A and B are shown apart, each in its own frame.
Chain A
């Protein structure tokens, strides 16, 4: 078990523990804050996979943007406090259904993981990938790049249109 493995399990423990808090917490605000650590741990896993650009994207968009949006969404709801939240194990039927669906989903994922012949890259990039992404984005994939701006424009107008109070 080398250093990278230790760091991987460190992040894996953070992800699983904080995700458990998200699901099991009785307070929706604590769930939202716990999601921060889940996102952070996923960013760490990305770094371990040598995907530094995706890790930075994860930090900026998920932690900097989407999490803020989720917390805003929580604060915009009328009843935050004194709300009976159904988290954890609430009944035998839910326990059975939840356990069964988890078992099916987990089993399928493990089966697919083991039966797929994974493409193993002969060489792991040790340098930053941002430069390569930038170069190919501005030359080979120029049209998708500019189309992304149109998509963002549409999302912005749509969001403003829906969220505007009328």
Chain B
């Protein structure tokens, strides 16, 4: 098992060395004449306005939280998938129960509109709102 992970580490090291050699050779070979225009952010030829770090919509955070919980579910799926063939239908039903309980959560956030993007909700007054109550 350790040797299998050794190969993965080897891939990492080769990847880092490969990219490192590329960047180093480029740094040695290229001419260096920086100027303010060259150093500015490339934005399809437009002049960049402001920074790229803006405040993100809170919606992303809800989606990331939901993703994290399903990520944990995937971690539980992994050992299940390994022994699934030996345990057969028993393991299948267990996992169905597990997934259905989590699906209830998905149904909840779906029904509550956390997955859909925030739409503007214009206030359309009905006729009843316009009626002025009669004074006696």
Contact = CB atoms under 8 A, between A and B. Distances in A.
A142 interface: yes
A129 to B, nearest CB: 8
Interface in A107-166: 125-128, 130-131, 133-135, 137-139, 142, 145-146, 148-150, 152-153, 155-157, 159-160, 163-165
Given A76-B56, A131-B83, A156 B108 contact: yes
A156 B62 contact: no
B1 A127 contact: yes
Which of B53, B60, B108 has most chain A Cβ within 10 Å?
Answer: B53
Contact of B83 (A77, A135, A164): A135
A165 B81 CA distance: 38
Interface in A1-51: 4, 7, 29, 44, 47-48, 50
Interface stretch (B27-35, B41-49, B90-98, B121-129): B90-98
A125 B60 CA distance: 42
Given A152-B105, A160-B66, A164-B112, A146 B98 contact: yes
User: For this complex, into which size category does the number of interface residues on chain A fall?
Assistant: 35 or more
A69 B114 CA distance: 17
Nearest to A53: B79
Interface string B48-63: 0001010110101110
Contacts of B74: 60
A126 B1 CA distance: 6
B68 A65 contact: yes
B82 interface: yes
Interface string B67-81: 111011111101111
Interface string A64-108: 111011001101111011000000000000000000000000000
Interface of A: 4, 7, 29, 44, 47-48, 50, 52-53, 55-57, 60-61, 64-66, 68-69, 72-73, 75-78, 80-81, 125-128, 130-131, 133-135, 137-139, 142, 145-146, 148-150, 152-153, 155-157, 159-160, 163-165
6 contacts: A48-B2, A65-B71, A72-B61, A130-B82, A146-B97, A153-B104
